[in-house]
Homo-oligomer: A and B are copies of this chain.
């Protein structure tokens, strides 16, 4: 019973790795099985199809992202203070770093032409909404003016709020090796840049 749960988890973890390395279509169920150390047929015992593995992985990301938002909305009493903002930033950076493999998959998949909006857009929507709620609360509490243009706010939150974090997850490793910097150096530079751009745009 314990074993069975662990096996399923191992399959998911391995699929995550291989999907992120090769892309969903480029990944082979054979490779997942081999690297997870299980028989290929066993994968089909736990999952209906290769596609279901992907959906499971992405929906897990969704759930975790939601949890993070709820949690950070609860924990962060004062976003606009330096320390409060840094805490939030760290929580986000840690999240995208920890989940960077899945985020890569999500981004790659989001490029495809599907009828439904891509997971990244969905993710963006809930993150943005939660963020906007936070901001609105903050702002109104402080009597700060809140931008009138809803569209502009959405664009701000998505393209300069969420997207750089996703790009961070996507290119973190390539960046570190191309420019020969440590994880810390990159994170700190990213923090300074992020505050000078996105955060700055929030202040009046």
Contacts and interface: CB of A to CB of B under 8 A. Distances in A.
A82 to B, nearest CB: 18
Contact of A154 (B110, B160, B170, B179): B179
B201 A22 contact: no
A37 interface: no
A90 to B, nearest CB: 17
A6 interface: no
Majority-rule SS of A interface residues:
helix
A168 B104 CA distance: 17
Interface in A66-113: 104-105, 107-108, 110-113
Nearest to A197: B197
A121 B25 contact: no
Interface in A16-33: 20-26
A160 B164 contact: yes
A175 B159 CA distance: 11
Contacts of A21: 112-113
Interface in A101-140: 104-105, 107-108, 110-113, 117-118, 120-121, 125
13 contacts: A23-B23, A26-B112, A108-B108, A117-B177, A121-B171, A121-B174, A149-B192, A151-B185, A151-B189, A158-B171, A159-B167, A159-B168, A196-B201
Interface of A: 20-26, 104-105, 107-108, 110-113, 117-118, 120-121, 125, 149, 151-152, 154-156, 158-160, 163-164, 167-168, 170-171, 174-175, 177-179, 181, 185-186, 189-190, 192-194, 196-198, 200-201
